[in-house]
Amino acid sequence: MTALPAPTADQIWVWIKDWLVIHTPAPFQTLVSIVCIVAAIIVVFASLFALTVLLERKGLGRIQNRYGPNRVGPFGILQPIADAVKSLTKEDIVPRSADHVVHYLAPLVLVGASFLAYAVLPIGRNMTAVNLDAGVLFFFAIGSATELAVFMAGWSSRNKYSLLGAMRAIAQMVSYEVPLILSSIAVVMIAGTLSTSAIVDRQARFTHGIAHWYVFTPWGLAGFILFMIAATAETNRSPFDLPEGESEIIAGYFIEYSGFKFALFFLAEYIEMFAVSGLGITLFLGGWSSPFSFLAWIPSWIWFFGKLLVLIGCFIWVRGTLPRLRMDQLMNFAWKFMLPMTLFVILSAGVWRFLPATIAGSAALGAVVRWLVCALVILLPYVTLARTLEGGRKIEKREYRFAE
Amino acid sequence: MFGEGIIQGLVETARNFFGSYVEKDRLVTVQYPEERHHLPEATRQFPFLLYDGPDSDAGLRCVACQICEKECPPRCIHIEKSKDKKPDFVGKQQFYPAVFDIDVSVCMSCQICVEVCPFDAIRMDNEFELSTSNRFGGLLYTKRELSKSNEYYRRIHPTEAAETDERRVKEAEEAKAKAAATAAAAKAAQAAAAPSATANGAVGNGAAPKPADQPAENKPVSQ
């Protein structure tokens, strides 16, 4: 038995796992290690789900000048427990004409695939469950499995609304997966690796006290915004929540699910949102690293979850602000705006890579020139695209003849 | 065109979000079981029966005329007339309802019963917290549950109640004056008849007004 080094706040969770592992008999050490990691991921992100649901309901309420839930416990903080009890005790109804096996499997596949994505997310220093060389690739491959589960649910329910919802979901997810992956390709190009841990390591360095986060570059900023828009669509969140548009198709692909299976769909949706936000943090926001060197003493996992909560807050904010898109607007936005913009982000990243860091012996001049050129590579197409897509249509103030 | 509308929208929602913590008048929600709105005077839910005085049986204004039962469009009122009579507020002997039921699950709060009642006996209540765990009997209100005092009526509909009270006081005074006049006339008639009483005394006594028609004080009515 080897002695462990004294635990630090940064490595406390790793230390606890190592301590548990060295106190188990040798044949079971691998098993205990795996169980520890899996249990930690499931417990932490499931509780984050509960917290987010509460925050979302409270936040949306405040955005709409309401109180939000405030009945269960002080300030309604026990609302998630009440919701859990409710969904667990509700009757589980399966339509008689449904494909029972597929109908049963769909939520399980969805939740399983959503949780698998966390395998490659570095949620702290030395805290990646599986440090794959092709981590980003693995993430997107697993992300595509959720589309399968969504269509399983939509098809097996034998309901026109669920099928419509599933078709919308597939169309949307396939369309937005393209800009999602293309915007992360820029990062992969610059970092020169597909490993998520290595990408974070590249960003966890400091020059003049400021970290090398990719979001601090013009292509990184644009890429991050495009990535988050595509991520919103990928996780079917408002304003891209057409697959479950209540006003047209009631609940979309999970219309025929009730009780705990419905709760699983709900859980999977949020788990996917956390996962894709986590990837956004890993790729653009420096993962677990701190933005300034004087803040580096704060434990790495606090940085990761802090950034995650900020992104969740932005998701809630956007949900409380924007109305749902129409299907043609959604598709036009994906193929006519997102796709060209991500291509220009890749171009800009290439320009950034090959422009010299110093011009005429001056690092400052080099940085300014690099910034300007890369920003122009993105801004010019942006302005042109925005003008073109407007299509010469003049938006006038609409006059309501009968209302008012 | 460049997404500035989205930014404006985000600013607006952020202002709402933070404003709701600072400005109390942004949050218009009334926290219902703890706080409640003052109900407007014209609020009406379901009918109730009015009684005067402390006793709900003796003072019940309803005389079981059954007009409301006949007028009620959804037929939610059921009345059974009493066999005996009791005096009303002016002292006239009247029937009273032995059974008076309203099925508030059928009632549509149209207030027609109130409008047709000639005795000011039925009025609209503003009580709306009527949920019950008994699905079948819980919403069938009997006479006991329907009877509410005039003080209660004054409290929930002050203007209406004042008007009704004024009218009833006037009616009672008129009835008293009329009764007094009748009594005086009867006395005068008796006095006039007295000289001839020696001739046919037994017949003259029979013509005198019956004590039952007098504005006698309320005698207890057994139920």
Please report the DSSP string for B157-195 in residue order.
SHHHHHHHHHHHHHHHHHHHHHHHHHHHHHHHHHHHHST
Find chain B residues with C-beta within 8 A of A66's C-beta: 20, 27, 29
Residue corresponding to tokens 């790729």: A283
Residue in B117, B138, B116 with CA at minimum distance from that of residue B129? B138
Which domains does chain B carry? 47-164 (3.30.70.3270)
Residue in A307, A141, A173 with CA at minimum distance from that of residue A252? A173
**Cβ count near B111 (within 10 Å):** 13
The pair phi, psi for residue B100, each rounded to 5°, is: -140, 105
CA distance readout (Å), B189 to B184, B195, B200, B207:
8, 11, 15, 10
Q: Using the 8-state DSSP alphabet, how is residue A67 labeled?
A: -
Residue in A371, A390, A381, A389 with CA at minimum distance from that of residue A344? A381
> Of the ranges A345-349, A392-396, B183-187, B200-204, which one carries the lowest mean pLDDT score?
B200-204
Higher pLDDT, B216 or B16: B16
Find chain A residues with C-beta within 8 A of B31's C-beta: 67, 70
Cβ neighbours of residue B182 closer than 8 Å, sequence gap 6 or more: B209, B213
- What global pTM score does this model have? 0.78
What part of A 23-62 touches B (C-beta under 8 Å)? Answer: 59, 62
The pair phi, psi for residue A324, each rounded to 5°, is: -70, 145
Residue corresponding to tokens 């005389």: B63
- Name the 3-class secondary structure at A52: helix
Higher pLDDT, B73 or B191: B73
Residue B138 in this model has a pLDDT that exceeds 60: yes
Task: Please report the pLDDT score of residue A137 as a whole number.
Answer: 92
Amino acid at A250: I
Q: How far is CA B43 from the centre of its chain?
A: 15
Of B1, B9, B31, the CB nearest to A386: B1
Q: Would an 8 Å CB–CB cutoff place B198 in contact with chain A?
A: no
Give pLDDT tens digits along chain A (404 positions). Answer: 456 777 777 788 888 888 888 888 888 888 888 888 899 899 999 899 999 999 999 999 889 888 888 888 788 888 888 888 988 898 888 888 888 899 899 999 999 999 998 989 898 888 888 888 888 999 999 988 888 888 898 888 888 888 888 888 898 988 999 999 999 999 999 988 899 988 988 888 888 878 888 888 888 899 999 999 999 998 888 888 887 777 777 777 888 888 888 889 888 989 999 999 999 999 998 888 888 888 878 888 889 999 999 999 999 999 989 888 888 888 888 898 899 999 999 999 998 888 877 777 777 888 888 888 888 888 898 888 888 877 666 667 777 777 66
**CA B10 – CA A213 distance, rounded (Å):** 25
User: Where does residue A367 rank: exposed (0-12), middle (13-18), buried (19+ CB within 10 A)?
Assistant: middle
Amino acid at A231: A
Q: Would an 8 Å CB–CB cutoff place B166 in contact with chain A?
A: no
CB–CB of B16 and A382 under 8 A?
no
Q: Using the 8-state DSSP alphabet, how is residue B60 labeled?
A: B
Helices A259-284 + A218-234 axis angle, to 10: 170
Task: Please report the pLDDT score of residue B217 as a whole number.
Answer: 47
The CA radius of gyration of chain B, in Å to the nearest whole number, is: 28
- Name the 3-class secondary structure at A394: coil
Residue B200 in this model has a pLDDT that exceeds 80: no
Q: Would an 8 Å CB–CB cutoff place A207 in contact with chain B?
A: no
Q: Looking at chain A, which residue has its C-alpha nearest residue B23?
A: A65
CA distance readout (Å), A304 to A10, A100, A122, A308:
12, 40, 9, 6
Residue in B120, B117, B79 with CA at minimum distance from that of residue B98? B79
Local confidence band at B1 (pLDDT 50, 70, 90 cut-offs):
low
Helix ranges restricted to H, B103-157: 112-116, 143-146, 150-156
Find chain B residues with C-beta within 8 A of A64's C-beta: 16
ipTM confidence score: 0.77
Beta bridge partners of B94: B86
Beta bridge partners of B101: B78
**CA A351 – CA A357 distance, rounded (Å):** 12
Convert the pLDDT of each residue in A110-157 to its tens digit: 999 999 989 898 988 888 888 888 889 999 999 888 888 888 988 888
| Min distance B131 CA to chain A CA atoms (Å) | 20
Residue A301, token pair as written in the block: 């996992």
Of B2, B14, B20, the CB nearest to A65: B20
Q: Would an 8 Å CB–CB cutoff place B9 in contact with chain A?
A: yes
Q: Using the 8-state DSSP alphabet, how is residue B26 labeled?
A: G
**CA A183 – CA A188 distance, rounded (Å):** 9
CB–CB of A387 and B10 under 8 A?
no
Convert the pLDDT of each residue in B42-93 to its tens digit: 888 999 999 988 888 888 888 888 999 999 999 999 999 888 888 877 778 8
The pair phi, psi for residue A299, each rounded to 5°, is: -55, 145
Give the helix/strand (H/E) hosting A210: strand A210-211
What part of A 298-327 touches B (C-beta under 8 Å)? Answer: 317-318, 320-322
Contact between B179 and B214 (Cβ < 8 Å): yes
CB–CB of A67 and B14 under 8 A?
no
Substitution target from A58, A60, A62, A329 for chain B, most B beta carbons within 10 A: A62
Range list of β-strands (E), chain B: 47-51, 77-81, 86-87, 93-94, 97-103, 122-124, 140-141, 147-149
Cβ neighbours of residue B69 closer than 8 Å, sequence gap 6 or more: B75, B77, B78, B79
CB–CB of B29 and A63 under 8 A?
no
Substitution target from A55, A58, A60, A63 for chain B, most B beta carbons within 10 A: A63
CA distance readout (Å), B14 to A14, A228, A325, B20:
39, 19, 21, 10
Q: Taking residues B208-222, what's their average pLDDT? A: 46
Contact between A295 and A129 (Cβ < 8 Å): no
CB–CB of A65 and B16 under 8 A?
yes
* First vs last C-alpha separation in chain B: 82
